[in-house]
Each structure stands twice: as C-alpha cells, then as structure tokens.
Chain A
Amino acid sequence: MTHRTNDEDFARELRAHIDTVGPEIAVDLDAVVPRARRRRVRRVVVTGLASVGVVALAATWAVSAEPWVRPAQVQPAGPVMATDDSEKAEEPAPHVSVAPGWPEGKYWYVESNHQERGDDTVAFEQSWSGHDDPGLHIQNQNVDDAWAKGPSAWGSLKIDGEWVLIGWDELYELPTSAPRLREILFDSVRPDRGAGTPEDKVFEMAAELLRESPAPPALRDAVWQVMSELSVTTLEVGSDSTGRPGEVLDHVVDGRTGERYVYDVVERRLLEQWYFDTEGEWVGRETYVTERTAGDTPIEPTLEMAGCARWENC
C-alpha cells in the first residue's frame, strides 16, 4: 500500500485496502428477531413484577441489611485485598492470609481510574465480576448507565487437548509452575484469533489472566514470570503513575512499547496498565486502586443491561 500526503487520499486508499483484506463476516441474522422478542417479553414481565413487588421488596430490603444498595452506600472501605463484605459485616475481620487466594468469593470487585491522553477527566470504574452470577460495571457511579456481563471468564485455554473456558474455579486449577503454564498458553495459540506472533498472542492471553482477576497469588506470579520471559517483553523495576513501586513490563511491538503493565511483586497484584502510540506517547491507562471479594452488586445485573439473550454465553 502506498501512502500519499493528503489525509483524504490516505483514508480512501485505506478503505480500498480494507475492502481487499477485510474478512467476510456472516452475521447470524436468524437469531436477532427471536432474541429481541424474548427480551421484549422479559422486559414486560420484569416491569410488571417490579410494580407489583416494589412495596414488598422495599420492606424486605429495609430489614435484610444486605440489599441491592446504591454505590454510595456500598463504597468499599478498608485495605486492598480485604475479605468479603458479608464477612466484614459480622465482626472485625481477622487477619486473612492471601496466599491461597479467594477460591470461594462471590464477586471480584475492582476499582480503577481510567484516563486517556488529552482528556483531563479521569473515569472512576467499578467492576463486579461474578463467580457464578452475572457481573456489573459502573462508570463514575452512574447507576443509570450501568452495564452487565455474564459470569466472568478470563479467556479459553487448551489444556491436555481440551478447550477449557477459564472461569473463577478454573483459575484455581491452572498450574502455578511457570514452565507448565507457558506450555499451556503456547498450546492455546490459534491462527484465527488475536494479532501478531505466537509470543504476542501468549502475552495477551497471559495478561488476560491478570486483569481484574481473582487468580490466586501463586498463579499471578507464574503468569508474570511467563510474560516477563517472552522475547517480546522487557522488564525493569519502577513504579506506576501514582508512585507505587513494582516491576514494569513493556510489550514491545515492532520495536516500540505497545503496552505496559506494572505488577506489585510484594502484594502480588496488577497495579496499572498503559497503552502507547507509535510515537512513544501514552494514549490511555487503567490504574487499579482496589481489588477484593464482594458479597453483592449494588444493583441487580439484568440481561437488558448486558444486551444478551442468555447469561450462559454473555
């Protein structure tokens, strides 16, 4: 592809190039109308039930002390990696070792600050990833614009010849030996998924296991080791944008840093993720502030909020 100086000419060439190399995507249109019909029915039913049940629910919520409350009322307090809300409510939490991780949590709650270059505002993100239940995401505490997601998963990996969806439980079954984990990740590289070399794809799959994840600390360490030993990464000691110390790992794409991750090797958790442009300027970053288990979401996630027909594949 040749590049001309004028933006419009370049864009026109790019569109022609996309016409040539872009994939033919067969959208399954048969599912659309039936899905919409089901959602419409559900919407009507939910609305009806809500109006009938609102008084009863209000009474129940008042005495349960564990309602679907608004974020302002459930703002998590306390240290990073605290224990479950429901545990905290009963008595002062004893010291809990984080070494085994959080295999029994109901939701994995993460607070982060999202910023893009050129945008002075910082978006405050709250995410509840469900163990078995649907999850929720709220930006800037705007409940009206919350969106939902299915029970959480952190990718799919090919283990002993079988594809396995990595949900919460599977995070606790993955090997914590870096060489074995590396083998699984390379076995899971697919030609029609992701971009770049097999190492680039392994990097992405590994990073997926770390982001907003209740993975046990031992697995996190193994993931970090795998990522740092790839030929497409560089590692050094440094800190995140708020000055928290950690190891700084750059994913190098075409000779330039494409992404950067900062991992706290003491607390054993991801602190920050950066994206860069080709000039070496950052274009966006996600700074993880808090992560812990949580007992509930502040509002109930619905299929309507998720835009899905079923939670099973949402």
Chain B
Amino acid sequence: MTVTMTAADAADPPDDAGFRVVRVGTSYEEEFTAFMRDAAPALARTAWLLCGDEHLADELVQQALTRTFLSWRKARERDPLAYARRTLANLRIDHWRRRRREVLTEPTALPEGAERRSAAEHHAERDQLVRALATLSTRQRRIVVLRHLVGLTEREVARDLGVSLGTVKSTASRGLAQLRSVLGAADDGSDQGGAR
C-alpha cells in the first residue's frame, strides 16, 4: 500500500504526541481531477444548452470547475456535481457572452460528399435547436434547461437557481410550451421544404 503525504497534509500541525498526521489515499487535487473528468461532459452539455456556442461552453465549464476547485472542501461534502452545475447555471452568461473578448479559432473543416450532406443536416438541426432556445428569456432558458433538458426535479432547480418552486413550475411549463411551438413550426417548415 502506498502512503502519500499530500500538500494539505504538510500543513497539518503535529498532534499532541508530537507526530505529524499522515493520511492515506488520494490527494485533494487527484480527487478533484477524477471528479472533473467525470463531470465535464455533462456540464459541457448543460453549458451549451444555456449559451448555444461550443467555444463559450468550453470556457464556461472551465470557469465553473475552477470555482468548484476553489471550494472543493465544501463542494465534496455534499454533491460536487450539483455544486458545479449550480455555479455554471448562475454565471452571468448573457452579459458575459455579449462582452467577452473572443478567442478566435478556425471553423472546423467540413467532411466530404455524403458525409458533408449528413453533417449539414446535423448542423441544421442543431442550429434549429439553438435558435429555439434563444427565443427564451435568460431565466426561462435556465429553468427549462435544468428542469427538462438536464432532467432535474423542480425542487432541485429551485434550489440551484434560488427561485421559488412556483416560479420553476410556471416558467418551466411556459418555456417548454414555447420550445415545442418553435420546434413544431420549424418541423412544419422542413416538411414543406421551407426550412431555413
């Protein structure tokens, strides 16, 4: 068995008998890194649904995880994923999006032939979804994404966003109806060959 003395352990004072306490197991950072690796895909999906942009979603998740790491002792005691998700959902996405200094990247290369057509259809459907989500207000989008697209309970959403249960119920319902209407209209347009 490997006994490791972590950086945090080094700061622990000697006990009454004069021996320094040595803990066994993974370090603080190792524990967080393992959590981060598991949690990142789900957080990235949530971030993308909230902001509609892959590059921004990447940055938002990094921000949320950075803050989670800084509060890891508190976060790990309960539900670290919930802590990170709550941090993510409460970042001021819209304002930040409007004023961020964009990191430029080249567009992803397009595939060839049939793959290109399939990719284009895929892209169009994704675009339709982003456009539908963009019709919701910031608060509606947060609540709809967490409640219906991430699949949290109404109580969890209320706790994450610091709003009442009633607000979650009414906003989630209205928001979902709107999404259904927008996506339904887009589907009708596609059926008639008139999709944008």
Q: Which A residues lie at the B interface, using CB under 8 A?
A: 1, 3, 7, 10-11, 14-15, 17-18, 20-23, 25-29, 31-33, 35-36, 39-40, 116-119, 129, 135, 137, 147, 149-153, 155-156, 163, 165, 167, 190-193, 195-197, 208, 211-212, 253-254, 258, 275-279, 283-284, 307-309, 312-314
Contacts and interface: CB of A to CB of B under 8 A. Distances in A.
Contact of B66 (A35, A254, A313): A35
Nearest to B196: A197
Contacts of A15: 148-149, 151
A40 B70 contact: yes
Contacts of A116: 137-139
B176 interface: yes
Interface in B137-178: 137-140, 148-149, 151, 170-171, 173, 176, 178
B102 interface: yes
Interface stretch (B8-16, B18-26, B75-83, B180-188): B180-188
21 contacts: A3-B180, A3-B183, A3-B187, A7-B173, A25-B54, A32-B66, A36-B70, A39-B66, A116-B137, A137-B95, A147-B92, A149-B95, A152-B99, A155-B102, A163-B104, A165-B102, A192-B54, A192-B108, A277-B178, A279-B178, A284-B137
B36 interface: yes
Interface in B56-85: 57-58, 61-63, 65-67, 69-70
Contacts of B54: 23, 25, 192
A25 B36 contact: no
B45 A22 contact: yes
A129 B99 contact: yes
B127 A11 contact: no
Given A135-B99, A277-B135, A14 B62 contact: no
Chain B: number of interface residues, binned into ranges:
35 or more
A128 B80 CA distance: 34
A23 B126 contact: yes
A254 B186 contact: yes
B130 A195 contact: yes
Given A7-B173, A10-B180, A27-B43, 5 more contacts: A39-B70, A152-B101, A193-B53, A212-B99, A309-B66
Contact of B36 (A3, A32, A275, A279): A32
Contacts of B63: 307-308
A314 B100 contact: yes
B62 A31 contact: yes
Contacts of B67: 307
Contact of B125 (A21, A25, A135, A167): A21
Contacts of B137: 116-117, 275, 283-284
B100 A150 contact: yes
A32 B99 contact: no
Q: Which 5 A-B pairs have the closest CB atoms?
A: A25-B44, A11-B148, A36-B69, A283-B137, A284-B137
A249 to B, nearest CB: 18
Interface in B1-50: 29, 32-33, 36-37, 40-41, 43-45, 47-49
A139 to B, nearest CB: 9
A18 B54 CA distance: 14
Nearest to B95: A137
Contact of A196 (B48, B65, B131, B170): B131
Given A190-B107, A284-B137, A313 B101 contact: yes
Contacts of A149: 95-96, 99-100
Nearest to A164: B104
A118 to B, nearest CB: 8
A253 to B, nearest CB: 7
A32 B130 contact: no
A173 to B, nearest CB: 17
Nearest to A22: B45
A310 B185 CA distance: 43
A33 B69 contact: yes
A33 B33 contact: yes
B151 A22 contact: no
B179 interface: yes
A195 B107 contact: no
Contacts of B53: 193
Contacts of A35: 62, 66
A192 B57 CA distance: 13
B57 A25 contact: yes
A17 B148 CA distance: 13
A23 B185 CA distance: 23
A142 to B, nearest CB: 13
Contacts of A278: 135, 178, 181-182, 185
Nearest to B98: A211
A31 B29 CA distance: 13
